[in-house]
Amino acid sequence: MADYGNRPIIIKKVKKAAHVHHGGAWKIAYADFVTAMMAFFLLLWLISMTTPEQRQGLADYFAPPNISASNSGAGGVMGGSSMDDSGAKMAGSAIDTRENVSPLPDSTEFSPQEDATGGQADSEYDAVKASQIDLRSSQDQLFHSAAASIRQAWQALPDITEIADNLVIEETVEGLDIQLIDQGERPMFPEGSKYPYEATRQAIAAIAPVLQRLPNQIVISGHTAGGAVYTNPRYGSWELSSDRANTVRSILGEFGLSDGHINSVVGRSTAEPFFPNDPYLAANARITITVLYGASPVPPGLTP
């Protein structure tokens, strides 16, 4: 029988090498892929929100200049268009009726006529149009100066600081609008009264000397907000808006504005809300002093 007790015992030890660490390179690649997909879907969303004209403007921007399909002088990425047709707005301003660019007045229309002299009517038409453009340009400069003078006069009155947001000056298609607008808890008139608060009276008085220096006619209109309750059945929003407009005319006259500058004084009641979508908003109650385009029919300084 074999002798197994004297045999040596051999123990084999196998050393296992550690696996090579693969690192996080796949995570970086995955993050880049997700970022690219997000950018791609964001690009698709932006393209779906633009108009065909804006997309054409973007295409022209990235195309070489010598193959651009646009012959417009506007240039730029959007080819002269904006992402929002309504443009930038100031808080509390009207949404749909106010513009800063005023077209030529249409009170007098001319149509070129060919006569026996051969085109003389055309030249006269062009001359009249050119004079109208020059008149509008000069009046725009005059209105800019008047608006600056009114703002400066208001800034010199410390008592009207609290109602500074109620005073708005802007150019419209009719001329220069100076508006005294109710703002929530800061109305310009006591409720149901035709007489303004003292701060409102000072703001109106500061306007008079500036308006007196202008040759233009002036329209004063009163407006009220909807939903008001009047205890007197014979005195409502039409009477109140008319009385307030006439009171403003009287204050302007007291501080230097002559009657020759007044074109009309009207009460609009709730017929022309400042915010048509919300006729009950307090800001619809206002006084509008409009300096009309066109010179006064009576030359300034002329006395009878």
Contact 77, 63 (CB under 8 A): no
Note the pLDDT tens digit of each residue in 198-223. 999 999 999 999 999 999 999 999 99
Query: Does the pTM exceed 0.85?
Result: no
Can you read off the two tokens belonging to residue 295? 């010179």
Can you read off the two tokens belonging to residue 233? 């059945």
Nearest to 249 by CA among 192, 287, 216, 213: 287
Contact 60, 70 (CB under 8 A): yes
Residue with tokens 């008047």: 146
What's the length of the chain?
304
Cα–Cα distance, 228 to 190 (Å, whole number): 13
What are the pLDDT tens digits along the chain (304 aa)? 555 566 777 777 766 665 555 567 888 888 999 999 999 998 888 878 877 777 777 777 666 544 444 444 444 444 444 444 444 444 344 434 344 434 434 444 444 444 445 455 566 655 555 555 555 677 788 888 889 999 999 988 888 888 888 999 998 888 999 999 998 788 999 999 999 999 999 999 999 999 999 999 999 999 999 988 898 999 999 999 999 999 999 999 999 999 999 999 999 999 999 899 999 999 999 999 999 987 555 554 554 4
Q: How many CB atoms lie within 10 A of CB 151?
A: 14
Torsion of Cα atoms, 69 then 71 then 74 then 80, to 10°: -50
Can you read off the two tokens belonging to residue 284? 């619809």
Contact 266, 153 (CB under 8 A): no
Can you read off the two tokens belonging to residue 243? 């009385």
Note the pLDDT tens digit of each residue in 143-197. 888 899 999 999 888 888 888 889 999 988 889 999 999 987 889 999 999 999 9
